């Protein structure tokens, strides 16, 4: 029989290990100073042991082949967007996500660039695109078009047209474009201030609202579902969040007797980015992207460190790309096994998050689903409560943003926040819109 390395070590019971740890800490039992309660009401213990019951519940496998992705905004003038595309392609990105403004209706030279490129392109439209716009992209093998009209509704607090007409346009969009993926942008919940359990539950409900529409209309399910979500800096919680969402989403999708590919694009949280000592944003986005990779994102899309206060610029884009290249090509984050397996702490976090998020999701569905929760301001009230608690912890320095509310340098530059395009307010709000709220 082959000799195991572990045969050379004595085996200790959980009680014996607990006794040794207590002795080292100088206590007879673990009390409050050695544990804490997260904003999601998850009790974090100082130590974790193997739990045979939890081991029976599967842990999501990490996709190895995650793709370096860049976001590029397309607005009226294509010139700068074209220069961004050329820079990205010359820098070995794997994917480009275009965020297309509603006024854009001519892609011009961009089509020629796409035809000659081997990378993947996803066009994310702010509004449901017209046939004229889509015809320019028709037949290109490496391109997908998508729109989250519910996400736009949540942010604008009103329909651009009537609710019935917007739904009909979306149905037509999905029916007439066979290769169109279902796309949802659930970063809006995290940036509005939702805690991690709320983010998972609201994302599931958001997705289920679309799946229900497809089923009711008897529209064939797409071959892929794209979910874009934000990663914050609570490293292990964020790692477990992404894995928990994937596990629950795949379980929910199976209930529709369909199994499209679930593609998760992770991006940095905006809420915690600062203008004071703003270079620290690079450190924040690095850990956020690390948790995205280890949590199982298929695509990882970094943001420039100066996104909040500078217009798009080549230097900011280059630094953002280089962070991902360092993780992938120099730190070999594309070759790691599933690091969650065997980490009792992360496994425990994932199981608790899944239980709490699923319960909240079921509560939303039992009360009428995502759309009713949004229009009744139920989602907003839950988020506002969580955001208020987080703001209070930030003001008390219980939640630290280095260089802002702790260890701020007297000579630290405080950049001017750039002007952000205002929300369309030509109609009366039907509910409280979901907007980004910064900590500082």
Position 63 in a domain:
no
Position 192 in a domain:
yes
pLDDT digits (tens, 9 = 90+) for 61-92: 566 689 999 999 998 778 889 999 999 999 99
Mean pLDDT across the stretch 278-301? 95
| Cα–Cα distance for residue pair 16/29, rounded to 1 Å | 13
Q: pLDDT at position 333, please?
A: 83
**Number of separate domains in the chain:** 1
DSSP 150: H
What range does the domain containing 185 cover?
A: 169-345
Q: pLDDT at position 157, please?
A: 96
Percent of residues, the chain, with pLDDT higher than 70: 90
Position 259 in a domain:
yes
Q: Is residue 265 classed as helix, strand or coil in its secondary structure? A: strand
Bridge partners of residue 122, in order along the sequence: 97, 144
Question: What CATH number should be reported for the domain holding residue 340?
Answer: 3.20.20.240
Bridge partners of residue 144, in order along the sequence: 122
pLDDT at 229 over 60: yes
Q: 219, 174 in Cβ contact below 8 A?
A: yes
Position 69 in a domain:
no
| Cα–Cα distance for residue pair 412/60, rounded to 1 Å | 42
| Cα–Cα distance for residue pair 214/171, rounded to 1 Å | 8
Position 239 in a domain:
yes
DSSP output for 321-382: HHHHHIIIIIS-TTS---TTTT-HHHHHHHHHHHHHHHHHHHHHHHTT-HHHHHHTTHHHHH
Mean pLDDT across the stretch 315-320? 96
More confident residue, 139 or 129: 129
- Angle between helix axes 163-176 and 196-217 (nearest 10 degrees) is 80
pLDDT digits (tens, 9 = 90+) for 34-53: 678 999 999 998 778 776 55
Q: Rg of the chain over CA atoms, in angstroms?
A: 23
- Specify burial of residue 197 (Cβ count, 10 A radius: 0-12, 13-18, 19+): buried
How, if at all, do strands 261-268 and 36-37 pair?
unpaired
Position 31 in a domain:
no
Backbone angles phi, psi at 122, to 5 degrees: -125, 120
Position 304 in a domain:
yes
| Cα–Cα distance for residue pair 183/50, rounded to 1 Å | 38
Q: 316, 88 in Cβ contact below 8 A?
A: no
| Cα–Cα distance for residue pair 383/195, rounded to 1 Å | 7
Mean pLDDT across the stretch 393-399? 93
Q: pLDDT at position 56, please?
A: 47
Whole-number Cα distances in Å, 435 to 151, 192, 393, 423, 432: 11, 5, 20, 9, 9
Bridge partners of residue 72, in order along the sequence: 98
Average pLDDT, the chain: 88
pLDDT at 140 over 60: yes
Shortest CA distance to 298 belongs to which of 92, 58, 95? 95
Q: pLDDT at position 45, please?
A: 82
CA angle 227, 232, 233 (to 5 degrees): 150
């Amino acid at each position: 029989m082959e000799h195991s390395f572990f045969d050379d070590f004595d085996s200790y019971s959980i009680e014996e290990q607990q006794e040794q740890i207590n002795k080292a800490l100088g206590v007879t039992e673990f009390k409050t100073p050695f544990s804490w309660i997260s904003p999601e009401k998850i009790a974090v213990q100082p130590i974790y042991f193997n739990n045979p019951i939890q081991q029976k519940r599967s842990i999501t496998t990490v996709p190895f082949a995650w793709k370096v992705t860049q976001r590029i905004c397309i607005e009226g003038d294509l010139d700068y967007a074209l220069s961004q595309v050329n820079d990205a392609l010359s820098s070995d990105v794997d994917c480009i996500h275009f965020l297309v403004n509603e006024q854009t209706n001519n892609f011009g030279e961009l089509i020629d660039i796409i035809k000659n490129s081997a990378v993947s392109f996803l066009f994310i439209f702010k509004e449901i695109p017209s046939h004229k716009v889509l015809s320019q992209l028709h037949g290109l093998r490496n391109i997908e078009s998508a729109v989250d009209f519910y996400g736009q509704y949540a942010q604008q607090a009103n329909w651009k047209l009537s609710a019935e007409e917007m739904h009909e346009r979306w149905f037509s969009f999905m029916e007439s474009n066979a290769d169109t993926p279902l796309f949802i942008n659930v970063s809006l919940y995290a940036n509005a201030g939702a805690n991690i359990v709320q983010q998972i539950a609201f994302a599931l409900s958001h997705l289920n609202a679309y799946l229900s529409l497809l089923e009711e209309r008897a529209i064939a399910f797409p071959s892929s579902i794209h979910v874009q979500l934000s990663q914050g800096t609570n490293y292990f919680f964020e790692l477990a969040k992404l894995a928990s969402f994937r596990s629950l989403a795949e379980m929910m999708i199976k209930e529709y007797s369909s199994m499209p590919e679930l593609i998760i694009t992770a991006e940095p949280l905006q809420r915690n980015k600062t203008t004071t000592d703003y270079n620290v944003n690079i450190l924040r986005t690095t850990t956020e992207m690390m948790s995205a990779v280890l949590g199982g994102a298929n695509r990882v899309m970094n943001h420039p460190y100066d996104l909040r206060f500078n217009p798009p610029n080549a230097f900011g884009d280059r630094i953002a790309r280089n962070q991902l290249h360092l993780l992938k090509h120099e730190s070999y984050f594309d070759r790691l096994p599933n690091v969650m397996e065997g980490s009792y702490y992360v496994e425990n976090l994932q199981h608790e998050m899944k239980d709490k998020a699923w319960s909240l999701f079921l509560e939303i569905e039992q009360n009428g689903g995502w759309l009713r929760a949004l229009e009744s301001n139920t989602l907003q009230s839950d988020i506002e409560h969580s955001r208020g608690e987080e703001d209070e912890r930030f003001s008390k320095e219980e939640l630290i943003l280095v260089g802002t509310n702790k260890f701020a340098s007297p000579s630290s530059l405080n950049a001017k926040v750039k002007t952000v395009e205002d929300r369309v307010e030509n109609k009366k709000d039907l509910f409280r819109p979901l907007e980004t709220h910064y900590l500082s």
